[in-house]
């Protein structure tokens, strides 16, 4: 006797978080609006307070809602956030945010590394790299343009992968690549001709640029990337505590 594929049942706190996250994203709750109380949510979902509090904690961690201590919880933002502290792929981030990720590959190529990219990847100028240029989608809508570059040692796995099928990060992990940590530099940049065409915005539209480098545990550079988001599609958040040093730095552009 054979059975169909088994699907993970969504736990109750995930169901509550999904309901609230979707309502915020779709505008049912706007920034400044109060959310239903714990009592109202427990009645709506026939739940105890534990799953409701877990769901609220998840949304606070995403920067979507206030702490609510001593007063009703309010919506802070309706733009999805990604934590600075996570080494996470775009696809995984979308799935965690109840969004269907997508991608349309524009180009995959093996080519020699130019000087600045070779320095970023810690290889010699002219060494082979694998470059990927993709449009990323959120619920089938354009959201981000990514330019990914890998030393050939790691990029060879990408050449054998259908880059329209999903997460390159997950494919690298599945191939045994040790993705341990990442650094990000975030700034703003105007959309160039390619960005504007793919994201369906005028040339010069401000984009949120995230330049990322990923490393193995031993410190070898796996990837040097340039991701350009529509700013109303994503933002980044970082939580810090006074007295505890943060890895985030503010760097002058001068």
* One domain, residues 198 and 112: yes
Q: Which two tokens stand for residue 55?
A: 């769901």
Closest C-alpha among 154, 214, 208, 210 to residue 183: 214
Domain of residue 105: give its range: 81-236
* One domain, residues 127 and 32: no
160-179: average pLDDT: 92
Helices (H) and strands (E) in the chain, counts: 8, 8
State the chain's mean pLDDT as an integer: 84
Q: What distance in Å separates the CA atoms of residue 154 and residue 181, rounded to the nearest whole number?
A: 15
129-139: average pLDDT: 96
Q: Is the pLDDT of residue 143 over 50?
A: yes
Number of domains in the chain: 2
Q: Which two tokens stand for residue 177?
A: 């690549």
The predicted pLDDT at position 65 comes to: 83
Q: What distance in Å separates the CA atoms of residue 34 and residue 68, rounded to the nearest whole number?
A: 10
The predicted pLDDT at position 4 comes to: 38
* Burial environment of residue 6 by CB neighbours within 10 A (0 to 12, 13 to 18, 19 or more): exposed
The label of the residue with tokens 């509090």 reads 53
Q: Report the SS3 class of residue 174.
A: helix
* One domain, residues 49 and 155: no
Q: Is the pLDDT of residue 60 over 60?
A: yes
The predicted pLDDT at position 74 comes to: 87
Residue 249 lies in a domain: no
Residue 66 lies in a domain: no
* One domain, residues 149 and 103: yes
The predicted pLDDT at position 3 comes to: 38
The pLDDT-based confidence of 86 (bands split at 50, 70, 90) is low
Residue 28 lies in a domain: yes
The label of the residue with tokens 């193995």 reads 216
């Amino acid at each position: 006797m054979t059975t169909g594929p088994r699907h993970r049942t969504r736990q109750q706190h995930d169901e509550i978080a999904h309901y609230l996250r979707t309502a915020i994203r779709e505008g049912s709750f706007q920034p400044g609006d109060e959310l239903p109380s714990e009592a109202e949510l427990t009645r709506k979902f026939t739940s105890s307070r534990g799953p409701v509090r877990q769901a609220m904690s998840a949304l606070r961690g995403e920067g979507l809602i206030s702490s609510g201590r001593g007063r009703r919880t309010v919506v802070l933002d309706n733009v999805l956030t990604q934590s600075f502290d996570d080494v996470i792929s775009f696809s995984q981030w979308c799935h965690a945010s109840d969004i269907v990720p997508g991608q349309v590959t524009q180009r995959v190529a093996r080519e020699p590394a130019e000087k600045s990219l070779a320095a970023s990847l810690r290889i010699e100028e002219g060494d082979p790299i694998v470059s990927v240029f993709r449009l990323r989608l959120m619920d089938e809508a354009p959201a981000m343009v990514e330019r990914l570059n890998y030393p050939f040692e790691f990029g060879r796995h990408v050449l054998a992968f259908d880059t329209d099928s999903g997460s390159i990060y997950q494919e690298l992990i599945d191939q045994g690549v040790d993705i341990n940590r990442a650094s990000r530099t975030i700034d703003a940049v105007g959309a160039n001709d390619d960005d504007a065409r793919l994201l369906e915005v005028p040339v010069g539209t401000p984009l949120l640029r995230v330049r990322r480098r990923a490393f193995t545990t031993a410190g070898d550079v796996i990837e040097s990337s340039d991701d350009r988001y529509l700013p109303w599609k994503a933002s980044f958040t970082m939580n810090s505590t006074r007295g505890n040093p943060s890895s985030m730095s503010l760097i002058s552009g001068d």
